[in-house]
């Protein structure tokens, strides 16, 4: 409730809810307050002032009692679950709140994107440096730390260009090639796991497995960045 909102008196709340719950009384509202199911603000004189959210919580409590026959303990647990971000079960069921359903992360590439081949390129070190907007010596550093790989003839391919450009973007924050070595090590471990998972008899869907590896990697990085 914002400072500009006076809130609703218990009489107004009763009037609104009695349209749906005819036998509701002020004593019942006070009882639910006393049991901690809803906690309206109090004025300096001690009068309750209900917010819109308080009224919706009361409506939920009363619906659960009438339609689902839940005891107050279960209702309190459900309210706590909603406060923690869980979602209500369908009204036609008696199930408890659940975690949100899985949805595709819009930041992840699709399986088609993962499987799409990179444009065939053969770039010299100077051409790679120019395309990535970096000095030739930086390309050499990236190569020395295993982030890009020249072939036997000294050429770099389209994957190397993607890596160099991404590395270059991070380097604008003061990083050097040696700081990016952990990315190479982590990628090698993930590739090893990918090879293991898709080498089993009957295994398929390499692109989807790779996509799920990326999903886990992104989720872990996000979680770590949040807690950091």
- The residue extents of the domains of the chain are 10-83, 111-227
pLDDT at 175 over 60: yes
First to last CA, the chain: 31
* Residue 3, pLDDT score: 41
Measured in whole angstroms, how far is the alpha carbon of residue 92 from the centre of its chain?
28
Average pLDDT over residues 208-218: 87
Highest average pLDDT, of 18-22, 89-93, 217-221, comes from 18-22
Local confidence band at 228 (pLDDT 50, 70, 90 cut-offs): low
Distance CA 19, CA 30 (A): 18
* Range in 51-65, 146-160, 191-205 the model is least confident about: 191-205
Distance CA 62, CA 56 (A): 10
pLDDT at 91 over 80: no
Cβ distance 141 to 176 under 8 Å?
yes
| Matching residue, tokens 């706590």 | 80
* Residue 109, pLDDT score: 80
DSSP β-bridge partners for residue 42: 48
CATH topology (fold) of 111-227: Multidrug-efflux Transporter Regulator; Chain: A; Domain 2 (1.10.1660)
DSSP line for 93-151 = S-PPPBPPPP---TTSPPHHHHHSPPPP--B-HHHHHHHHTS-HHHHHHHHHTTSS---
3-state SS, 153-220, equals: CCCECHHHHHHHHHHHHHHCCCCCHHHHHHHHHHHHHHHHHHHHHHCCCCCCCHHHHHHHHHHHHHHH
| pTM, rounded to two decimals | 0.63
12's CB contacts (< 8 A; 6+ apart) are 50
Confirm whether 10-83 and 111-227 share one CATH topology.
yes
* Residue 108, pLDDT score: 77
pLDDT at 4 over 90: no
Ramachandran sector of residue 205 (left: φ over 0; alpha: ψ -120 to 50; beta: rest): left
Measured in whole angstroms, how far is the alpha carbon of residue 108 from the centre of its chain?
12
Q: Does domain 10-83 have CATH number 1.10.1660.10?
A: yes
Average pLDDT over residues 135-147: 96
DSSP β-bridge partners for residue 123: 156
Per residue in 34-64, pLDDT (tens digit) is 999 999 999 999 999 999 999 999 999 999 9
**Which carries the bigger pLDDT value, residue 106 or residue 185?**
185
Task: Estimate the crossing angle of helix 72-83 against helix 52-63, to 10 degrees.
Answer: 140
* Residue 202, pLDDT score: 64
* Residue 107, pLDDT score: 76
| Matching residue, tokens 């993607």 | 162
C-alpha torsion sign, points 92, 93, 99, 105 = negative
**Which carries the bigger pLDDT value, residue 218 or residue 160?**
160
């Amino acid at each position: 409730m914002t400072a500009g909102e006076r809130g609703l008196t218990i009489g107004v709340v009763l009037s609104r809810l009695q349209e749906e719950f005819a036998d509701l009384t002020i004593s019942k509202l006070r009882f639910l307050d006393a049991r901690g199911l809803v906690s309206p603000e109090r004025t300096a004189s001690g009068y309750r002032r209900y917010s819109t959210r308080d009224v919706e919580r009361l409506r939920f409590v009363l619906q659960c009692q009438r339609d689902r026959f839940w005891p107050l303990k279960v209702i309190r647990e459900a309210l706590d679950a909603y406060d923690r971000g869980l979602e209500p079960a369908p009204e036609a069921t008696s199930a408890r709140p659940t975690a949100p359903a899985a949805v595709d992360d819009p930041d992840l590439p699709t399986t088609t994107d993962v499987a799409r081949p990179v444009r065939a390129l053969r770039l010299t070190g100077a051409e790679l440096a120019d395309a990535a907007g970096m000095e030739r010596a930086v390309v050499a550093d990236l190569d020395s730390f295993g982030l890009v790989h020249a072939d036997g003839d000294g050429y770099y391919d389209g994957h190397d260009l993607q890596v160099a450009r991404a590395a270059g973007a991070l380097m604008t924050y003061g990083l050097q090639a040696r700081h990016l070595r952990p990315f190479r090590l982590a990628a090698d471990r993930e590739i090893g796991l990918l090879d293991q998972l898709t080498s089993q008899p009957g295994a398929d869907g390499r692109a989807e497995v790779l996509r799920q590896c990326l999903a886990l990697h992104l989720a872990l990085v996000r979680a770590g960045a949040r807690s950091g």
